[in-house]
Every structure is written in structure tokens, then in C-alpha cells.
Amino acid sequence: MLKAVIFDMDGVVIDSHPAHRKAWRVFLETVGRSATDQELDFVLDGRKRSEILRHFLGDLSEEEIRRHGIQKDEILNRTNLVVRTIPGATQLLDRLRSAGIATALATSASASRAHSTLQRLHLTGKFDALVSGNDVVAGKPDPAIYRLACERLRIEPAHSAAIEDAASGVRSATAAGLACIALAGQQSAEALSDAGAALVVSELSSLTLRQIESLLLRRSKHPARSALAAGSAD
């Protein structure tokens, strides 16, 4: 039985990828590091900021990560690209809440950016819980962030579904024991399916509660397969 749906933020709830790609490109240029479009795909794979910075700049101290993070956020705030909600996201959240299904956000973004973004887009009241990159040591694809989201909702992963748009996020959710739906766009449907997505959709407006519930029903009929997926990232 479906009791909760947990959403990634960037690329699932908010259309922020173009702004983040631009901000990271400008930031890297300020520290003397150029990056191709292909290299910048790493930024959009659901990683924590510390992982992204170390990926591009090597071993950094916590203080360097903090300073670079502030600089990158300042660049993001100056970008002229408007961040909006993903089409269909608000409507899906409203349908879930009307059906009595809990909702949570599991994002690799910092707590401050997650809260400020939700407030700016009037989405704060749409979620029963929020887990950010600050709340976990290891980012996606580690399953910790989805396990913590389920704990905060007090709902078992077996009764929960996740919605992701990146392969690392799909692996994180499935390793935590959730059925995962992937929103194709930033990454291909094939890549998301290969990562373990049980269903890939091209837009959230086409996603129904019956489809989500059917994923959990299928999983309940194949517990051995679900258990294998849940343990794959540990």
C-alpha cells in the first residue's frame, strides 16, 4: 500500500538545471578551471556540493568547501535564468496530499538553499518532511538520504515511492528499498532504467496515483528482487 512519495528537488520539483549548469561553469572559470558540457553533467547527477567541488578541484578542506560554496551560491543568485516549478509537480503534490499520502523532499542541495527555494516558489507547505545534503554524510547514490526521509515520515520504504531524474538518485532510492519513478529529460530513459527505475515518464502531468500504487504492488509480489536492489549500494 502506498503511504508516501519522496521527491528529489532539482529537475523533479524545480526546473533549476540550466541555472546550476551556468553557475557552476562561471564559478569554475573564476578559480581557473574550465569544464566541458559533458563534464558539467556531473553537477546534475544529484551529488552533494562537497563531492562536486572535490571532483573538479581535488582535495579541499572543509573551510575551502564552505568558501567556494558561498561563492557559487552568489553566482547562482546573480544568474538571469529564472527557476520555476517543473510542469505537473505542484498538481501531483496536491493529488497526493488530497489522497492522504505523505510527501517528503530528499535533496542533495544544502538545507539553506532547499528551504529558500521552497519558500520563494510557495512550496514549503507541500512537504511533510525535508532531508538535505546537510543531513547525511554520504550523498546519492548512497541510500542514506532516502532512509532518513522514510524515518522522518515514520513510513517503511516498502510503502514508499521516490521520484528522481538522475541515475545516482535512482540508485539511492532503490538501494533504500523504495520503488523509483524517473523523470526523463536531463538523462535518457535508457540510463534511468539501467540504474533501476521501475517506471520512466517524460512528464509528471502524465503520472497517476494508480501507476505509483501498481509499482508497489509489483514489488510486493517479487520481494526477493526488491531485497536484492535494496542491498546493492551498501
* Grid cell listed for 145: 538520504
Reduce the DSSP state of residue 213 to 3 states and report it: helix
The CATH superfamily holding the domain 4-15+85-230 is: HAD superfamily/HAD-like (3.40.50.1000)
Mean pLDDT over each residue of the chain, to the nearest integer: 88
Measured CA to CA, the distance from residue 143 to residue 124 in angstroms comes to: 24
How far apart, in whole angstroms, are the C-alpha atoms of residue 34 and residue 212?
41
Q: Are 215 and 181 in contact (CB under 8 A)?
A: yes
- Superfamily holding 17-78: Putative phosphatase; domain 2 (1.10.150.240)
- The letter for the amino acid at 135 is D
Say if CB 180 and CB 197 are below 8 A apart.
yes
Q: How far apart are CA 85 and CA 15, in angstroms?
A: 6
Reported as a single tens digit per residue, the pLDDT across 58-102 is 999 989 988 998 888 888 778 766 789 999 999 999 999 999 999
Domain ranges of the chain: 4-15+85-230, 17-78
pLDDT value at residue 234: 42
Cell of 83: 527557476
Nearest to 8 by CA among 103, 137, 87: 103
Q: What is the pLDDT of residue 14?
A: 93
Three-state SS at 194: helix
The DSSP letter of residue 133 is G
Distance between first and last Cα of the chain: 26
pTM: 0.80
Q: Which residues of the chain have pLDDT under 50?
A: 224-234
| Residue 224 main-chain phi, psi, to 5 deg | -65, -40
